[in-house]
A and B are shown apart, each in its own frame.
Chain A
Amino acid sequence: MLPISRVFATTAAGLVGLALTTSGSFADPIKFDFWYGLSGDLSSVVQQMCSNFNKSQSDYQIVCTSQTDYDTNLQNTIAAYRANKQPTITQIYDVGTATMLLSGAVMPVYQLMADNGYKINWDDYIPGIKSYYASSKGDLWSMPFNSSTAVLYWNKDAFKKIGKDAAPKTWEETADDMKALKAAGYDCPMAIDITNNESWEFLEQFSAIHNQPIATENNGYDGLDAKVEFNKTSFVKMATDMKSWYDQGLMVIKDAKAGESYAAAFAAGHCQMTVDSIGDHGTIGKTAPAGMHWGTAEIPMYAGNERHNSFVGGASLWVMRGKSADEYKGAAAFLNWIAQPEQALFWSTNTGYVPVTRTGFDFMTKSGFYQKPEFAGREVAIQSLSEGTPTPLTRGTRLAVMPQIRQEWGNAMQAIFAGKIGVQDGLDQAAQRSDADLARAAAQYKGATLP
């Protein structure tokens, strides 16, 4: 009979030995940070993707943190960089692209992938998306992730009442349809929201589709001394028409602060048309009342113009400088993983965003994605992003103070709609203030050139 103490000691030693042997066969995975600016439903999808990545391999572990929204994430990334605590990957929105390119704080994605031995077919990326995030030489500096574009959502039931079965293709046709809808008893033919946030839907998409400049220097791609031009292009006609339609009650302002956002108003059937991001397609599908027939179409344009590709929206993934080689290995593995067609299918199934590569789009089409009723209509976004070849003006905008320019535009439109100032005067004022912001940014980034 062995003494109890001897039994315990042997058991303990045996357990420790077992633990050592089992743990010794796995190395600790390399951890790296990913900060993103989505919240709510979209945030849980990102978290799901992160855990899928961690489960799919054991070398790296990604730690994903939501920063609530894009603005906050950009501010936090900047603050973290100044304190030398930046994340490895960060998700920055479209208008932050110029800021990131001028920062000197990022590692270009094409270089990261090449350094870590991954072969990515960069030409596979949809042209309208690639040109937004690429340098002047055509190399991608950030990885497109959640890309979207704006489309026209239209209520098929309401249009049937006025005897139409297709969405309007021109603004002239849209005006007639709105008048017909109003006469048929609908008191909100189209929902809009004139704040800085609508600059993307109206000013930027309009300019892209009509191949009109928003600023000189090819929207800022060619230099930091750009000046805005939206007060001189055919956008002035668009703004004048919008004001007149608003006065006639054809375009109604729907703001979340007033009770209902424009997307929610459309989803509830209160408004019959709206221009919104394809990213809301899933949410509208989930919140629309059962039996409501609705669809998407490309944004209308003025008759007699050739249609060009619309601007991409959403955000892309940037890799920050100053991290260790191991973290870069992990980042490259993650970026390679999300570029796979399977992940594109996962992402687009669970959110409204579109696939960013041709291969991804083809994979999803073959798997019957766009035949499913809840996803039908999203291919309109790809179509909109692929119209023609990108011209120097339809690549995107590369203005470091785009958030400020959007704010000036929004303020001018609000003053115009409130009747405080005329359309041309309002746009001229916005242009003047935007130019001052651009000059200030040029001074701030003196000596830096856009890659």
Chain B
Amino acid sequence: MTSADTRAAVIPADAATPRAAAVAPGQIDPGIGRDATAGALATPRRRGRERAVRAGEKRAVFGNNWLGFAFAIPQLLLIFTFFYWPASQALYWAFTLQGPWGGANTWVGLDNIRAVVTDPVYWDSVVRSLVFAFLSTGLSMLVALVLALLVDRELTGNRIYRSVLVWPYAIAAPALGRAFRFMLAPEAGLLAFINHLWPGIWNPTINGNEALAAIIFAFAWKYVGYNFIFMLAALQAIPRSLLEAGAMDGARPLRRMVDIQVPLLTPTLFFLLVLNITDSFQDSFGIVDIMTGGGPARATNLMVYKIYFDGFKGLDYSGAAAQSIILMLLVVGLTFIQFRFIERRVHYT
């Protein structure tokens, strides 16, 4: 065996191989920690490729850039038309004073934004929107989690629940609002019997907190199905062996759920949290418009509804544009906070 052969010898990446055999006599030790498969004179590229081959992967490179871009164009066009263009218009309107009938766009700088942030009613609306977002998300995810865990345990009827529970998500918010308005009406709805027992106890047309509860309930109901589907899929991806191991160790179903299933579910829960909170800021419009109209006494005046009312009924396009910019920043900020602080508690497998 010549020294050249030894140098070029490729030795399997086996931890048991003595390191001394990889180094030909007289050669510099490649160093502790270096990949034992690499020969002393092997170039970095060859080393990388060899490493990849070792690991059993093949790197695929899509050489046709033009085709990739062509695939992306329809989506880019949609995003441009329905997001970037209106958003840039809103940004422009937020810094000018718009007359309702067009023309007369005078630049006013930060005046519109200042008018919005110094308005106590606006902050009241922000607080209500946050309360709505967190309560409806919490309610909807809790119920969906319970349902998903129960269906996962293959209780009776689980095949039906699987298909049926997601249907509410497909209902348009105004239709949902109308149905719930009827159901929760204090005199004619399903809850009317409560008012017979204790007169006047349920009246969302005059009691602000009850109106807020009504829209939270309606919105949460819509998203239970959506959350349920994702959670169920994620639960089914958890290896059965883990649960069986837990059962063998004597853990009861509830303990298994809390200690094994839910922690492994955290990536999905995090994803759903971000989506639910974002949706609660904009999908709630239809429900508020039909069920309460922002009232009573502004109790359900969520930010998104206030934008519509001020812009289209009050004909204050500039103020509404300023509010929508602030809403966008708020949602972006909330998402950022979630990614920064909550994601580190997520257990990714």
Question: When chains A and B are docked, how far (Å) is the Cα of A81 from the Cα of B101?
Answer: 7
Known contacts: A443-B97, A445-B99. The answer to whether A418 contacts B296 by CB under 8 A is yes
Q: How would residues 86 to 113 of chain A score, 1 for a CB under 8 Å from any chain B CB and 0 otherwise?
A: 0000000000000100011100000000
Interface centre among A403, A407, A437, A445 (most CB of B within 10 A): A407
What interface size band does chain B fall in? 35 or more
Beta-carbon contact of A258 and B97 below 8 Å: no
Beta-carbon contact of A99 and B314 below 8 Å: no
Q: Does B272 touch A at the CB level, under 8 Å?
A: no
Q: Does A415 touch B at the CB level, under 8 Å?
A: yes
Beta-carbon contact of B203 and A258 below 8 Å: yes
Beta-carbon contact of B312 and A75 below 8 Å: yes
- Interface positions of B from 169 to 197, Cβ below 8 Å from A: 181, 185-189, 192
Least CB distance, B178 to chain A, in whole angstroms: 10
Beta-carbon contact of A78 and B100 below 8 Å: yes
Known contacts: A195-B295, A257-B185, A259-B189. The answer to whether A82 contacts B102 by CB under 8 A is yes
Known contacts: A82-B101, A259-B185. The answer to whether A410 contacts B312 by CB under 8 A is no
- Interface positions of A from 2 to 45, Cβ below 8 Å from B: none
Question: When chains A and B are docked, how far (Å) is the Cα of A440 from the Cα of B181?
Answer: 35
- Interface positions of A from 64 to 84, Cβ below 8 Å from B: 71, 75, 78, 81-82
Question: When chains A and B are docked, how far (Å) is the Cα of A403 from the Cα of B188?
Answer: 30
Beta-carbon contact of B316 and A410 below 8 Å: no
Q: Does B297 touch A at the CB level, under 8 Å?
A: yes
Beta-carbon contact of A195 and B293 below 8 Å: yes
Known contacts: A258-B185, A259-B187, A437-B314. The answer to whether A444 contacts B295 by CB under 8 A is no
* A403 / chain B contacts, CB cutoff of 8 Å: 313-314
Q: Does B309 touch A at the CB level, under 8 Å?
A: yes
Among listed B3-11, B205-213, B324-332, interface-contacting one = B205-213
Beta-carbon contact of A414 and B296 below 8 Å: yes
* A366 / chain B contacts, CB cutoff of 8 Å: none
Beta-carbon contact of A258 and B186 below 8 Å: yes
Q: Does B162 touch A at the CB level, under 8 Å?
A: no
Beta-carbon contact of A411 and B314 below 8 Å: no
Question: When chains A and B are docked, how far (Å) is the Cα of A59 from the Cα of B157?
Answer: 68
A71, A195, A255, A420: the one contacting B313 at CB < 8 Å is A71
Q: How would residues 272 to 303 of chain B score, 1 for a CB under 8 Å from any chain A CB and 0 otherwise?
A: 00000000000000000001110111100000
Q: Does B42 touch A at the CB level, under 8 Å?
A: no
Question: When chains A and B are docked, how far (Å) is the Cα of A22 from the Cα of B102?
Answer: 47
Nearest neighbor of B182 in chain A, beta-carbon distance: A259
Beta-carbon contact of B188 and A99 below 8 Å: no
Q: Does B115 touch A at the CB level, under 8 Å?
A: yes
Least CB distance, A402 to chain B, in whole angstroms: 10
Question: When chains A and B are docked, how far (Å) is the Cα of A241 from the Cα of B292?
Answer: 26
Least CB distance, B285 to chain A, in whole angstroms: 15
Beta-carbon contact of B297 and A415 below 8 Å: yes
Question: When chains A and B are docked, how far (Å) is the Cα of A259 from the Cα of B313?
Answer: 25
* A404 / chain B contacts, CB cutoff of 8 Å: 313-314, 316
Beta-carbon contact of A444 and B297 below 8 Å: no
Q: Does A179 touch B at the CB level, under 8 Å?
A: no
Q: Does B261 touch A at the CB level, under 8 Å?
A: no
* A414 / chain B contacts, CB cutoff of 8 Å: 206, 295-297
Q: Does B315 touch A at the CB level, under 8 Å?
A: yes
Question: When chains A and B are docked, how far (Å) is the Cα of A353 from the Cα of B292?
Answer: 29
Beta-carbon contact of A257 and B205 below 8 Å: yes
Least CB distance, A410 to chain B, in whole angstroms: 7
Beta-carbon contact of A257 and B208 below 8 Å: no
Least CB distance, A225 to chain B, in whole angstroms: 17
Q: Does B225 touch A at the CB level, under 8 Å?
A: no
Question: When chains A and B are docked, how far (Å) is the Cα of A443 from the Cα of B203?
Answer: 40
Q: How would residues 87 to 118 of chain B score, 1 for a CB under 8 Å from any chain A CB and 0 otherwise?
A: 00000000001111110101000000001000
B188, B207, B315: the one contacting A260 at CB < 8 Å is B188
Q: How would residues 405 to 418 of chain A score, 1 for a CB under 8 Å from any chain B CB and 0 otherwise?
A: 00100111011011
Q: Does B121 touch A at the CB level, under 8 Å?
A: yes
Using a Cβ cutoff of 8 Å, how many contacts connect chains A and B?
88
- Interface positions of B from 305 to 320, Cβ below 8 Å from A: 309, 312-316, 318-319
Question: When chains A and B are docked, how far (Å) is the Cα of A75 from the Cα of B296?
Answer: 24
Nearest neighbor of A444 in chain B, beta-carbon distance: B99
* A299 / chain B contacts, CB cutoff of 8 Å: none
A400, A407, A420, A444: the one contacting B97 at CB < 8 Å is A444
Beta-carbon contact of A103 and B101 below 8 Å: yes
Interface centre among B99, B192, B207 (most CB of A within 10 A): B99
Q: Does A297 touch B at the CB level, under 8 Å?
A: no
Beta-carbon contact of A253 and B187 below 8 Å: no
Beta-carbon contact of B186 and A259 below 8 Å: yes
Q: Does A307 touch B at the CB level, under 8 Å?
A: no
Q: Does A335 touch B at the CB level, under 8 Å?
A: no
Known contacts: A259-B186, A260-B188, A403-B313. The answer to whether A253 contacts B206 by CB under 8 A is yes
Beta-carbon contact of A81 and B102 below 8 Å: yes
Beta-carbon contact of A440 and B293 below 8 Å: no
Nearest neighbor of B106 in chain A, beta-carbon distance: A446
Least CB distance, A271 to chain B, in whole angstroms: 12
Beta-carbon contact of A411 and B205 below 8 Å: no
- Interface positions of A from 424 to 451, Cβ below 8 Å from B: 433, 437, 440, 443-446
B98, B100, B192, B205: the one contacting A103 at CB < 8 Å is B100
* A444 / chain B contacts, CB cutoff of 8 Å: 97-100, 316, 318
* A105 / chain B contacts, CB cutoff of 8 Å: 101
Known contacts: A253-B205, A414-B296. The answer to whether A259 contacts B315 by CB under 8 A is no
Beta-carbon contact of B292 and A257 below 8 Å: yes
Least CB distance, B141 to chain A, in whole angstroms: 29
Least CB distance, B100 to chain A, in whole angstroms: 6
* A420 / chain B contacts, CB cutoff of 8 Å: 297
Known contacts: A414-B297, A418-B208. The answer to whether A260 contacts B187 by CB under 8 A is yes
A-B contact list, 23 entries, CB within 8 Å: A78-B100, A78-B101, A104-B101, A257-B181, A258-B185, A258-B186, A258-B203, A260-B187, A403-B314, A404-B316, A410-B295, A411-B295, A411-B298, A415-B297, A418-B207, A418-B208, A418-B296, A420-B297, A437-B314, A437-B316, A443-B97, A444-B97, A446-B106
Q: A258-B203, A415-B297, A418-B207 are in contact. List 16 more A-B contacts (CB 8 A).
A: A71-B313, A75-B312, A81-B101, A82-B101, A82-B102, A99-B100, A99-B315, A195-B296, A253-B206, A257-B291, A258-B185, A400-B315, A401-B314, A417-B206, A418-B206, A444-B316
Interface on B for A, CB 8 Å cutoff? 97-102, 104, 106, 115, 121, 181, 185-189, 192, 203-208, 291-293, 295-298, 309, 312-316, 318-319
The 9 closest A-B pairs by CB, nearest first: A259-B188, A259-B187, A414-B297, A415-B297, A259-B185, A414-B296, A82-B102, A103-B101, A404-B314
